[in-house]
Structure 1
Amino acid sequence: MKLLRYGEPGRERPGMLDAAGRIRDLGGVVEDIAGDVLTAAGLARLRALDAESLPQAAGRPRHGAAVGRVGKFICVGLNYSDHAAETGAAVPEQPILFMKATSAICGPDDDVVLPRGSVKSDWEVELGVVIGDLARDVPVERALEHVAGYLVVNDLSEREFQLEHGGQWVKGKSCDTFGPIGPWLVTRDEVPDPQDLAMSLAVNGYRYQDGNTRTMVFGVAELVSYISRYMSLHPGDIISTGTPPGVGLGQKPPVYLKPGDVMELQIAGLGRQRQRVVACP
């Protein structure tokens, strides 16, 4: 299944795509694409529906963030060895974890607003993992059983805030609109191998990132197991699993986002995003 949320910001409705790619409204079935709806039992209930019998959304509505009421937005740093090399960092021996504020989350095609004083805002296409059933200290071999599905994440980063303002990376990762997710959540059964997904990102038509999840240092199952050792993972929590090489920081000289730029990113089977960059009002 492909599940989504559509409509105006703050008033999104739950939906699913039918076989023809049309949005079907789930408002009469569930309140949101969130929480227990994402558990194995919740997804089984949606899978049993006849999509053709559901109301069709009118027109071409805005896509909101594909998951609502996200409790934790956990990111993994330097999880591609070639990305670590381009930033001059060593390949980590254990996953590097940091949090991204959930207030950064926005729709996949919403404008990205540069924060006040930003001069080093950067892009990062990433595979997002959405938790389904509660995961608490789960073994690697059973970790994927706790995954509801996958989606595209643009883990935007203000590098000056992240690296030059002291403290942890979270300051450079959490600006409003710095977490586009979607366009939809693709359930786990439709992604046979999360470690073989091509991914790319272009700015103004120039492709900077062109990678594949097979080059992750720590795969999805390892990450879910590892993180669940340190904190419980609840339905709707998102893990953003790291980015391949080609970020703006790694260019020579570095290239950063400016008002008017357009980012286009995609992951095979998970959909596309497109964001216009605008100045802080």
Structure 2
Amino acid sequence: MKLATLKDGSRDGQLVVVSRDLTLAHYATGIASRLQQVLDDWGFMSPQLQDLYDELNNGRARHAFPFDPAQCLAPLPRAYQWADGSAYLNHVELVRKARNAEVPESFYTDPLMYQGGSDDFIGPMDDVVVPSESMGIDFEAEIAVVTGDVRMGATPEQALDGIRLVMLVNDVSLRNLIPAELAKGFGFFQSKPATAFSPVAVTLDELGDAWRDGRVHLTLQSSWNGRKVGLCDAGDEMTFHFGQLVAHVAKTRNVRAGSLVGSGTVSNKGVEKNGRMEWPKGYSCIAEKRCIETIQDGQPSTEFMRYGDTIRIEMKGLDGRSLFGAIDQEIVAPGGRERAAAAAAESALKLQAAEAAQD
């Protein structure tokens, strides 16, 4: 089934069931009003939501209405935990190679992971508000899972059983803040602003044969300012599968229902062509593109994002339909759209005054 959270003026929104083709929705209020409630009592509530989902898809839901992704919060607008990994080691290898550094052997056996802010996620079509363009604004196209309860010390196989839902992610990064933060030895903080998630979260059965070995074997598409820059395979080159990532979180503590665990930037290896490495599947973040340019040409040439830039992240199923809906966002300054609207209104008034003076 597919679940979303609509804006209703509150922090946590209103849970809805969304049709498979993403055209219709139905409030789940007779069952649960918030997604966290469902995750806390999955065994009891999810079968009821599945029945509603089946009715919606079969045209029997009496109070269905058109689904509008622009009205969505993140499926979980705030969560108990957001832990993001770096499961695609090719991304790490490129970053290290660009600065002539070796990848430690431990990186291939023990996942990299950081704990991000989970108190203020943003919706799939909400603006990405950044204080300054000079911070090095970057998108990161990823996949994330939502867990039920997973006990401390769970094996990767046991952790897989605890996965309830899958979503897409835009894990925004402020690249020019990262070096100073990492130099402190305590990891990311201000360099990781609010994270965005896809309009809907889907259960594993919605992925069909594409979900196997704890990975999503589909193409993750990234379009920057309307130009497709990434068509990355999310499956085969994922070094650590989601069961391993969740088990990593659970090594020394219980993981509670409503925890989010991310894959990190989806990344694919390059191929040699005429004696030169090429990356035909593109990239899922600008930092990786800059690393590729450094490897190829000795220095990066692609700039980070500017105010007014847009990013669209989407994944289509084997039938060609959008699975999660799209993350589709614009980069803006604090109060940016309001200031732009006020400036346009002021300009219109001045034009009207000038025209009146001429009359």
Give the alignment's TM-score, normalised by structure 2. 0.71
Tell me which amino acid in the other structure corresponds to 2:223. Answer: A
Identical positions, percent = 20
Out of 313, 320, 323, the residue aligned to residue 265 of structure 1 is 313
Separation (CA, whole Å) in 1 of partners of 2:176 and 2:151:
34
Separation (CA, whole Å) in 1 of partners of 2:252 and 2:302:
35
Following TM superposition, by how much is the alpha carbon of 1:195 offset from its aligned partner in structure 2, in angstroms?
3.5
Separation (CA, whole Å) in 1 of partners of 2:234 and 2:9:
31
The 3-state SS of whatever aligns with 1:10 is coil
Give the alignment's TM-score, normalised by structure 1. 0.89
Highest relative contact order (Cα 8 Å, sep 6+), 1 or 2?
Answer: 1
The 3-state SS of whatever aligns with 1:170 is coil
Aligned position for 2:26? 24
> Given the alignment of the two structures, is residue 102 of structure 1 paired with residue 112 of structure 2, yes or no?
no
Separation (CA, whole Å) in 2 of partners of 1:129 and 1:142:
15
> Given the alignment of the two structures, is residue 179 of structure 1 paired with residue 192 of structure 2, yes or no?
no
Aligned position for 1:2? 2
Measured against aligned partners, the alpha-carbon deviations of 1:116-156 in whole angstroms (never above 9, x if no partner) come to 47431111110011002344322222222101110011011
Following TM superposition, by how much is the alpha carbon of 1:58 offset from its aligned partner in structure 2, in angstroms?
6.0
Following TM superposition, by how much is the alpha carbon of 1:88 offset from its aligned partner in structure 2, in angstroms?
1.8
Contact 2:128 2:330 in 1 (8 A): yes
Name structure 1 gaps, 5 residues minimum. Answer: none
Separation (CA, whole Å) in 2 of partners of 1:163 and 1:206:
29
Name the larger-Rg structure.
2
Separation (CA, whole Å) in 2 of partners of 1:30 and 1:95:
35
> Given the alignment of the two structures, is residue 56 of structure 1 paired with residue 64 of structure 2, yes or no?
yes
Contact 2:169 2:196 in 1 (8 A): yes
Separation (CA, whole Å) in 1 of partners of 2:191 and 2:218:
24
Tell me which amino acid in the other structure corresponds to 1:75. Answer: D
Name structure 2 gaps, 5 residues minimum. Answer: 98-102, 268-282, 291-299, 317-322, 336-359
Measured against aligned partners, the alpha-carbon deviations of 1:18-50 in whole angstroms (never above 9, x if no partner) come to 355301111232120114446243312311334
Contact 1:111 1:278 in 2 (8 A): yes
The number of residues matched between the two structures is 278
> Given the alignment of the two structures, is residue 208 of structure 1 paired with residue 217 of structure 2, yes or no?
no
Out of 112, 115, 129, the residue aligned to residue 113 of structure 1 is 129
Out of 207, 216, 220, the residue aligned to residue 199 of structure 1 is 220
Q: Please report the RMSD computed on the Cα atoms of aligned residues, expressed in angstroms.
A: 2.3
Measured against aligned partners, the alpha-carbon deviations of 1:222-266 in whole angstroms (never above 9, x if no partner) come to 112222113321111101111124221232224211100010011
Separation (CA, whole Å) in 2 of partners of 1:264 and 1:117:
19
Superposed, which structure 2 residues align to 1:128-147 within 5 Å? 128-147=144-163
Aligned position for 2:287? 249
Measured against aligned partners, the alpha-carbon deviations of 1:47-106 in whole angstroms (never above 9, x if no partner) come to 1334433532467461111124410000113x2122113312627231111111013411
Measured against aligned partners, the alpha-carbon deviations of 1:168-190 in whole angstroms (never above 9, x if no partner) come to 34224432xx3111211101222
Instruction: Decide which moves more: 110-119 or 267-276.
Output: 110-119
Tell me which amino acid in the other structure corresponds to 2:127. Answer: D
Aligned position for 2:347? none
Tell me which amino acid in the other structure corresponds to 1:171. Answer: F
Following TM superposition, by how much is the alpha carbon of 1:191 offset from its aligned partner in structure 2, in angstroms?
2.3
Contact 1:183 1:273 in 2 (8 A): yes
Instruction: Decide which moves more: 61-70 or 146-155.
Output: 61-70
Contact 1:264 1:273 in 2 (8 A): yes
Separation (CA, whole Å) in 2 of partners of 1:105 and 1:184:
14
